[in-house]
């Protein structure tokens, strides 16, 4: 957990707060990079909290590298997703304001950090079942080729 979020949670506990995130649809050869998260065992798209003083673009490059081992370059802004609520397994409640980028892999090696149980590429039409509405919408937008989405 980034220091800022730890600091904030020490003050507000598990209360519902709003946080800024950056996430990626990393695509190569009609396949998308996905991560099975260690906190809930669910599949999703790589990304995480934007740290204080960090841009969304820098955050997505950092988060994808940390969580998947893959270095990426941003190709486009996919969209800004704001209409969601998430409850983490530890009870923290958040309204994520997520900036999603379309990215291309440019190096690195598949392999995650402690936040990832598994990372791998899936064909766009054969991704694992998802339960998080944010990821469902982001993948729908990816498959439809939509950019500049605001939800």
Residue (of 138, 127, 106, 137) closest to 36 by Cα position: 127
| Gap between the Cα atoms of 74 and 37, Å rounded | 23
Q: Is 102 helix (H, G, I), strand (E, B) or coil?
A: strand
Point out the residues that are catalytic.
118
User: Hey, what long-range contacts does 61-66 have (CB within 8 A, 24 or more apart)?
Assistant: 63/22, 63/23, 63/24, 64/24, 64/26, 64/33, 64/103, 65/108, 66/113, 66/115
The encoded tokens of residue 58 equal 């820098």
* β-strand partners of 26: 103
Strand 31-37 to strand 17-28: parallel, antiparallel, or no bridges (unpaired)?
Answer: antiparallel
């Amino acid at each position: 957990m980034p220091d800022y979020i730890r600091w904030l949670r020490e003050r507000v506990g598990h209360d519902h707060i709003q946080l800024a995130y950056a996430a990626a649809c990393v695509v190569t050869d009609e396949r998308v990079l996905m991560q099975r998260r260690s906190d809930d065992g669910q599949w999703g798209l790589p990304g995480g909290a934007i740290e204080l003083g960090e841009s969304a673009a820098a955050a997505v490059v950092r988060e994808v590298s940390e969580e998947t081992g893959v270095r990426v370059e941003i190709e486009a802004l996919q969209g800004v997703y704001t209409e969601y609520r998430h409850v983490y397994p530890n009870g923290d409640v958040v309204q994520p304001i997520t900036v999603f980028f379309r990215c291309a892999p440019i190096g690195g090696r598949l392999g995650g950090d402690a936040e990832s149980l598994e990372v791998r590429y899936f064909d766009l039409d054969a991704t694992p079942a998802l339960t998080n509405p944010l990821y469902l919408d982001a993948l729908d937008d990816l498959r439809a080729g939509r950019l500049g989405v605001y939800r």
